[in-house]
Amino acid sequence: MRSPREGARSGTPPSGFASIGAQPNLLLSVVLDTLDDAKAEDVVCIDLTGKTSIGDQMVVASGRSQRHVGAMADQLVRKLKDAGFGRARAEGLPHADWVLIDAGDVIVHIFRPEVREFYNLEKMWSADRPMERMVV
């Protein structure tokens, strides 16, 4: 099992990962460190630059159970607030099958493994944009 940082560096998909280390990526570092502390599984970072305007990075992670998913989401929201990133919005906490956390430039999805496999967000968001048709 890989840690969130290892998953972000060497997980699937092979291209489109966010880079870590620069000051603008402090938010991403806080997210990955918190998920690592919370024992998140199969963490993948997807660079959304040029694909959408909803954020710069997307982080997808799995928890072992509904309780684990809910606890990771609560911990992440609390750490983001403590780190000065304001109040992140969380959706899906009552059921905790799939929790979405909108932290501004970083969108975090925390799934139970079966739900993650069903929706397969990594495949959808890691694909390159198709070439736009040229009108002649």
Structural contact between residues 99 and 40, judged by C-beta atoms closer than 8 angstroms: no
Tell me, yes or no, whether 136 lies in a domain. no
Q: What is the pLDDT of residues 113-123, one digit of tens each?
A: 999 999 988 88
Tell me, yes or no, whether 133 lies in a domain. no
72 confidence band (pLDDT: 50, 70, 90): very high
In the predicted model, what is the mean pLDDT of residues 45-70?
A: 90
Has residue 129 got a pLDDT over 60? no
In the predicted model, what is the mean pLDDT of residues 37-47?
A: 94
Q: Which CATH number characterizes residue 86's domain?
A: 3.30.460.10
In this prediction, residue 114 carries a pLDDT of 95
**Nearest by Cα to 35 from 87, 93, 101, 85:** 101
14 confidence band (pLDDT: 50, 70, 90): very low
In this prediction, residue 3 carries a pLDDT of 55
Tell me, yes or no, whether 117 lies in a domain. yes
pTM of the complete model beyond 0.95: no
Overall number of domains in the chain: 1
Going from the C-alpha of 119 to that of each of 18, 47, 53, 68, 91, the distances in angstroms are 21, 18, 21, 19, 16
Has residue 135 got a pLDDT over 80? no
Tell me, yes or no, whether 131 lies in a domain. no
Across the chain, what does the average pLDDT equal?
Answer: 80
In the predicted model, what is the mean pLDDT of residues 46-57?
A: 85
Range of the domain at 21: 4-126
Tell me, yes or no, whether 134 lies in a domain. no
Stronger pLDDT, 127 or 78, i.e. the higher one: 78
Tell me, yes or no, whether 104 lies in a domain. yes
Tell me, yes or no, whether 13 lies in a domain. yes
DSSP 64: S
In this prediction, residue 33 carries a pLDDT of 96
